[in-house]
Amino acid sequence: MKKKLVALVVPLLISLGIAAGPVLADGRGGRPSTDRVFIDRDVDTFAVLPNGVMNPEGITANPANGDIYVSTFSAPFKLLRYNRHGKLLAQLDFAQPLLGLEFRNGKVYICNVGNFVGAPSKIQRVNANLTGLEDVAVMPSIGAPAPNFAVGNPDGSTDLITFGDVASVPNALVFDSKGTLYVSDSFQGAVFKIANVASCNVATCTVNTLSHNGLLATVGFPPFGANGLAFNTDESVLYVANTGDDRVLSMNPETGAVSTFSESLNGADGLVFDKRSGLLWVCTNQADEVVALNENGRVVAKLGEFRGIHKNGTPNGLLFPASPVIVGDDIYVTNLAIALTPAVGDEPEEDVTLWTVSRMELPH
C-alpha cells in the first residue's frame, strides 16, 4: 500500500513543483539527491521469539528463499531459522553466546563468543537447514590495542586513553567478493580476516590481523568497540561501527588504515550497505532508530522508533536495535532489548518478556 501511495503522490508533487522528500536516489540507483532527512516511524513485527528465548542479536538471510536467521546473546543460546513469512522452521542450541551472522554459499557463519563463558571464541558455520555445525577458526588472543590519543580538547590538550579489555569477542562478520571473511572484535579493538574461508576449516584456516587500533576499542557505553561491518559498492572501504564511541569508521581493507567516517550515532551497532541506493544503514541501539548515511557520512534517513511495551511484553517498535539485513525492499532488525545498567527501573528493556525481530520498508 505504501509503495502505491508513493507512486501516486510523487508525480503529483513534481507537477506542483514541490520537492518529493521520500525519493532518495537520482533515478539511476546512484547518489542520494535529497537535502533533508527522510523519516518513517512505521515498524512491523516480523517474528516473536519463542517463550524463554531472549535478546536476539545477529541476523542474516538466505537470498535464495528469503529465510531469516537470528542468533541470541543470552541463555538459552540459540540459532533460529524463520521463513520469509516469520514462521519458525528450526532452531539449534549452543553453549556460548552468539553475536554476528553472515550467509554465504548455502551456509550460515556464526560468531561464537566462548570467552564470556571461559571457552575459546571461534567462528563456526552450519548448513542452511541448521545441520552439520562445524568450527571454522579459533579467534586469536592479541590483547588490548596500544594507548590512543583522543581527538584534541578545546583547550588544545589531548587525552591518552589506555585500554584494558583483552577478551576475544568476535562480534560482526562480512564477506568480500573474493570470499574473504572479515571479523570485528569489540574488546580487543581489532578487525581480522580469513582468506578463502569456504575451503578451509579449524585445522587449516589462517586468521590474520588486519587492524589493531585504539579507534576500534572504546571506554564508552555500551562497552563494545568494533562492531558492525559493511563494504561499500566497490569494496574500497570497509565500514566499522564503534558502539561505545557512537561512531562509524572507514577502513582500508588492504592496509587496515582507519579513520572516522561519521560521528554522534548513539550506540552505532550493526551495519548494512544498500548497493541500490548507495546508503549505509546503521542500527543506533541507544536511539532506538535505524539511520542511513550518505557517502559523506551525513544522516539522510531515519527509520523506526520505540513506542513502549505491548501488553504481551513485546516492544512496540524498535528497542535496542542491534543488527540489520536487507531482503528485497525491506530491512529486518533484531531488537536486542537488553538491560545494561545495574539500576532497577531505569530501562524499558527490563519490562520486555517476549523478544522480537522487526521489519521496515526501505525508502526508494
pLDDT in tens, 34-91: 568 999 999 999 999 999 999 999 999 999 999 999 999 999 999 999 999 999 999 9
Q: Span 145-151, mean pLDDT? A: 85
Residue 181 phi/psi, 5-degree rounding, is -100, 130
pLDDT (0 to 100) of residue 9: 36
Residue with cell 517498535: 317
Is the confidence at residue 161, as pLDDT, over 60? yes
Nearest 5 degrees, angle CA 44-CA 49-CA 53?
A: 145
The domain defined by 24-151+161-361 folds into: Neuraminidase (2.120.10)
The model's pLDDT over 174-206, given as tens digits with 9 standing for 90+, comes to 999 999 999 999 999 999 999 999 999 999 999
Peptide bond connecting 147 to the previous residue in cis, omega within 30 degrees of 0: no
133 Cβ partners below 8 Å, 6+ apart?
92, 124, 125, 126
For residue 35, the model assigns a pLDDT of 67
Which residue ranges make up each domain of the chain?
24-151+161-361
Q: Give percent of the chain above pLDDT 70.
A: 90
According to the model, what pLDDT value does residue 5 have? 37
3-state secondary structure the chain: CHHHHHHHHHHHHHHCCCCCCCCCCCCCCCCCCCCCCEEECCCEEEEECCCCCCCEEEEEECCCCCCEEEEECCCCCEEEEECCCCCEEEEEECCCCEEEEEEECCEEEEEECHHHHCCCCEEEEEECCCCCCEEEEECCCCCCCCCEECCCCCCCCCCEECCCCCCCCEEEEEECCCCCEEEEECCCCEEEEECCHHHCCCCCCCCEEEEECHHHCCCCCCCCCEEEEEECCCCCCEEEEECCCCEEEEECCCCCCEEEEECCCCCEEEEEEECCCCEEEEEECCCCEEEEECCCCCEEEEECCEEEECCCCCEEECCCEEEEEEECCEEEEEECCCCCCCCCCCCHHHHCCCCEEEEEECCC
Q: How confident is the model at residue 152 (pLDDT cuts 50, 70, 90)?
A: confident
In the chain, what percentage of residues exceed pLDDT 90?
Answer: 87
As a whole number, mean pLDDT of residues 247-258 equals 98
Whether residue 106 has pLDDT greater than 80: yes
pLDDT in tens, 291-332: 999 999 999 999 999 999 999 999 999 999 999 999 999 999
Cα–Cα distance measured from residue 326 to residue 339, given in angstroms and rounded to the nearest whole number = 27
231 or 159: which leads in pLDDT: 231
Segment 102-129 shows an average pLDDT of 97
